[in-house]
Structure 1
Amino acid sequence: MLRQARVTSESGAGVSRRPRTAAPLTREGIAAAAIMVADERGIEVVSIRRVAERLGSGTMSLYRHIADKDDLISAMVDQMTGRYAYPDPEGMDWRQRVHALARTDWRMFLEHPWMLDATSSVAPPFGTESFAAMEWALEALEPLGLEPHAAARVIMTVNNYVQGSVRVVLGERGDGQADDPGLNWQRRLLDVDLERFPRLRRLVRHPIPERGRDWFVDGLDVILDGVQNRGRAPA
């Protein structure tokens, strides 16, 4: 009888087996699966249930690692921030570092537009990768001698500029191509009667170079010129 029971157990007869995921669940793995869902369908469809389906797991299993949807989005943002880590600052001055920061974030938001809503829908802190990014940015501004809160305002202003510029580009083309918004705006107004608005008419008729102009960098430099005047760094 004992041998028969062992054989029955080994053969699986009469034993209910639940399907297992290919790998143990982790917070990082859950966030990675959620990122894939967001990349494919947008942040608005991301849920614990959909991510569990993606992983072939039960919903309750995810709750051992993720508290709720806000916690899930925080984990997604932190992981994405780590994927787009800022470069080694060796040899860069403060201004070059802020340009590198802006370009890195620009690429991240264009390649993963759901991050625009994710970073605004859930309040920080997001996690260690996000803390590391903020530390990098604060260190970049140290040569300016700004007070901590003033430096934080600079970072927030640059971040708002980057996100706003990405939203303009996505709205203009819908495909993330970085056409010059100023040039597009000028073209749309060329045939409009602006007789009553002489300054606007002069602006519209003033030529903007079709090539050789990086409107994103130009706008960022306007911000950084003001930042430099507030700090103590040399030009």
Structure 2
Amino acid sequence: MSPRVGPYGLLSHERIIAAAIEVADEAGLEAMTMKRVAARLGAGAMSLYRHVSDKEELIGNMVDQVTGEYAYPDPSGLSWREAMHVLARQDWDAFLAHPWMLTATTTVTPPFGTASLSAMEWALSALDEVGLSPDAAARMIMTINNYVQGSARVVLGDRRAEAEDDPGLAWKQRLHDVELKDFPHLSRLIAHPVPARERDWFEGGLDVILDGVQARHNASPDTAGITRSHEPIDTRTTES
């Protein structure tokens, strides 16, 4: 039997993944069904199962494909803090470009693909100079991942604001006209003038996490080559 050829060409594992990503980008992960992907390719749904065993495997392949597209660069010359900023920036860009990744990365089960494993290895190796135990390094990376994902969810969930806007400022604006006499701390917060921001809110939040790691493990610039990254992270979304 010859390979199935739809109106868009020869059906292949790579084309199935690409079509699935397109569908998920447009309609979300829940709407990404084998039937819908097959329709995008001009093929029958059953023909997809010659290349992927089920939807779960397909999602894993999709995650690995996007992870590879946003692969971390050569870490040579980067301090551990700079490496964590690079990690956060790449993941941030991936989540804003493909919002379904926020769900997929929390639901996909092992085995992970080569790109995903390479990303984990990169992150762990970047922390070697800090001298963390393997489990402490993993917890640090998980904390950063949770911060990036949470920040992306806030921005993607509030379409009224641009991604470079501080979500905290938007929150204060919403409370500005609310009666807060019974909430003195909130009242002082809302009345307090907003200081001029010298740095991007997302990057600043990440530095709070990294400062805690630095203090907890008594690392210093002289002994661990620790530096503070000042390159802002682009938190702007694009029109869909």
Alignment TM class, shorter chain as reference: 0.7 to 0.9
Does the CA-based 8 Å contact 1:28-1:79 persist in structure 2?
no
Name the amino acid aligned to 2:82.
Answer: Q
The answer to whether the aligner puts 1:132 opposite 2:107 as a matched pair is no
Structure 2: runs of 5+ lacking an equivalent = 222-240
Does the CA-based 8 Å contact 2:20-2:37 persist in structure 1?
yes
Moved over 6 A (4+): none
Does the CA-based 8 Å contact 2:4-2:11 persist in structure 1?
no
Does the CA-based 8 Å contact 1:81-1:129 persist in structure 2?
yes
| Cα deviation 1:4-58 (Å, max 9, x = unaligned) | xxxxxxxxxxxxx997235443322211110011112111111112112222223
Greater mean deviation of Cα atoms: 131-140 or 22-31: 22-31
The answer to whether the aligner puts 1:103 opposite 2:89 as a matched pair is yes
The residue that corresponds to 2:76 in the other structure is 90
Quote the offset at 1:174 in angstroms.
Answer: 5.8
Structure 1: runs of 5+ lacking an equivalent = 1-16
Greater mean deviation of Cα atoms: 42-51 or 224-233: 224-233
Aligned 1:1-235 pairs, distance under 5 A:
20-21=5-6, 23-173=9-159, 177-209=163-195, 212-231=198-217, 233-235=219-221
Does the CA-based 8 Å contact 1:78-1:129 persist in structure 2?
yes
Quote the offset at 1:199 in angstroms.
Answer: 1.9
CA separation in 1, counterparts of 2:5 and 2:182? 72
SS in 1 for 2:109: coil
Does the CA-based 8 Å contact 1:106-1:163 persist in structure 2?
yes
Q: What's the Cα RMSD here?
A: 2.1
Which one has a bigger Cα radius of gyration? 1
Q: 1:176 to 1:86 in 2, by over 3 A?
A: farther
| Cα deviation 1:141-179 (Å, max 9, x = unaligned) | 111111111111111110010010011111222676332
SS in 2 for 1:45: coil
CA separation in 2, counterparts of 1:124 and 1:232? 35
SS in 2 for 1:65: coil
| Identity among equivalent pairs (%) | 61
CA separation in 2, counterparts of 1:174 and 1:74? 32
CA separation in 2, counterparts of 1:221 and 1:136? 20
Does the CA-based 8 Å contact 1:81-1:130 persist in structure 2?
yes
Greater mean deviation of Cα atoms: 66-75 or 55-64: 55-64
Name the amino acid aligned to 1:26.
Answer: S
Does the CA-based 8 Å contact 1:28-1:75 persist in structure 2?
no
Greater mean deviation of Cα atoms: 112-121 or 71-80: 112-121
Larger helix share, 1 or 2: 1
Q: Considering Cα pairs closer than 8 Å and 6+ residues apart, tell me whether 1 or 2 has the greater RCO.
A: 2
The residue that corresponds to 2:225 in the other structure is none
